[in-house]
Amino acid sequence: MVSRVPSGSRVLDVATGTGLVARELERHGCRVIGLDQSAEMLRSSPGSARRVQAQAERLPFPDGAFDAVTFTYLMRYVDDPAAAMAELARVIRPGGILSSLEFFVPSNRLLRTGWLTYTRGVMPVTGRLVSPSWEYTGRFLGRSISEFWRRYPLDVQAGWWRGAGFPHPRYRVMSLGGGIVTWGEKS
Number of structural domains (the chain) is: 2
Q: Residues 16, 68: one domain?
A: yes
- The three-state DSSP-derived secondary structure of 88-123 is HHHCEEEEEEEEEEEECCCCCHHHHHHHHHHHHHHH
Are 140 and 176 in a shared domain? no
pLDDT, one tens digit for every residue, the chain (187 residues): 999 999 999 999 999 998 999 999 999 999 999 999 999 988 887 777 799 999 999 999 999 999 999 999 999 999 999 999 999 999 999 999 999 999 999 999 999 999 999 999 999 999 889 888 888 888 899 999 999 999 999 999 999 999 999 999 999 999 999 999 999 999 9
Residue numbers of the domain that contains 111 = 106-151
CA 54 to chain centroid, in Å, comes to 16
Residue 113: count of CB within 10 angstroms of its CB? 11
**Residue 75 sits in a domain of what CATH number?**
3.40.50.150
- Distance between CA atoms of 141 and 147, rounded to whole angstroms? 10
Report d(CA 34, CA 90) in Å as an integer: 17
Residues 8 and 49 in one domain: yes
